Chain A
């Protein structure tokens, strides 16, 4: 069912899905899509379809996990059984547990944890369809959900991956490139504060290639950040139009 291509990037520099090396997949963002969550957002990034919700700040359950001097951020990254080619069991996998942790740690720097001691903010991410780069898309949506919940933030967090396929450093790997390429470098970034909050790597890169990849990913993050701002403004802008 999955044919392995000979080359992931052809002589003209065009990738398997028609993109150039530094092109982002199409992105669609919507804010405020769930009525029960305090804040929510939906992202379509390439074929990724991900829903994120934020609840809080609210009392922690169980209570003993609360911190006396700050707010606690909890994050759960979870994939629907039908989100991938081969059905995935709904029980959390080790990968989901790790991703939950790194996503949480990519969002924490954006929050003023000391403002609301003894409370917690719970962020839930559900991957409805996965096609490579889900942790980045999840962070992008989760940051919007937190902002939509009215939780004060230093900045929005945008995330994007870069990597290497067939000797070329490329931006925003999709599933096939992720699986068959040489390296995958997901990055989360707060542009206003010039702060990287997530950085991981799978694969092998020379120091030069690594620098190129990180810069490429940060550029991607900046483009995504602009889309995040637009999505937030679109939701709240409707309110403004009433003025004549």
Chain B
């Protein structure tokens, strides 16, 4: 029962991956008993499951995901939020206000207005309805400072690292607070813009080199170099 690929081979949509005793995984589909790639990416197999890690994909909402979005519009009983997905998300007023919502009295735009950034959780989503957001948990709500960058959503797991090791290292070395939205939007808040730039640089590097080996070492190196330029200068004077 054949597989037609090598580990981490770059495949394109429609490329035949396997036949027979294999299971279709991510970014693959089955036609006439054969498994094909549906997106451009790197193919790999996990037991009998053939997966394609997409190099280019957009975010599809999932209940429970933490996302970062921009408020687009203030509506009658809530806000429309852009979460960089095929669907716009909704945040209901009743979710944000700690008491019942009175349409005549409450001024929604005073709470959240167009252009505000929020960290939210996807409370619900299904094929027939746009995603509903909630900010009713600690750590969620309006963002007032920091820098935003966008990465391909499929790279977020690599930026997190095994058991969060990669992201913890970046946070520690740059003294930044980093929130990784699963929709590929990342918030970096540091004490100085320079610290934020270092963290952003590290994240971008991971995004570009996510599937290569030795990445953890290279990132560690990069963070060390950027962290202590003053000390390096001292050494040079000798």
Contacts and interface: CB of A to CB of B under 8 A. Distances in A.
Contacts of A38: 58
B23 to A, nearest CB: 18
Contacts, number: 89
Given A147-B13, A236-B10, A155 B127 contact: no
A37 interface: no
Secondary structure of the A contact surface, majority rule: mixed
Interface in B179-210: 208-209
Interface in A82-100: none
B219 interface: no
A118 B214 CA distance: 42
Interface residues of B, number: 30
A196 to B, nearest CB: 15
A239 B56 CA distance: 12
B1 interface: no
A239 B27 CA distance: 19
B195 to A, nearest CB: 26
A229 to B, nearest CB: 5
Contact of B12 (A193, A229, A244): A229
Interface in B42-66: 54-58, 60
B40 A147 contact: yes
A154 B212 contact: no
A59 B88 contact: yes
A243 interface: yes
B86 interface: yes
Contact of A154 (B36, B54, B55, B128): B36
Contacts of B38: 112, 152-154
B29 A155 contact: no
A155 B36 contact: yes
Given A68-B128, A116-B86, A155 B58 contact: no
Interface string A136-171: 000000000001111111111000000000000000
B28 to A, nearest CB: 9
A121 to B, nearest CB: 9
Interface string A106-146: 00001010001111000000000000000000000000000
Secondary structure of the B contact surface, majority rule: loop
A193 B213 CA distance: 35
Interface size class of A (residues with CB under 8 A): 35 or more
A215 interface: no
B55 A192 contact: no
B150 to A, nearest CB: 12
Contacts of A155: 13-14, 36
B116 interface: no
A81 interface: no
Interface of B: 10, 12-16, 27, 29, 31, 36, 38-40, 54-58, 60, 86-88, 127-128, 208-209, 211-214
Given A153-B39, A154-B29, A156-B12, 5 more contacts: A147-B40, A150-B58, A232-B12, A239-B211, A243-B213
19 contacts: A39-B56, A112-B38, A147-B12, A147-B13, A150-B58, A152-B13, A153-B39, A154-B13, A154-B38, A155-B13, A156-B12, A191-B14, A192-B16, A237-B10, A239-B208, A239-B209, A239-B211, A240-B10, A243-B212
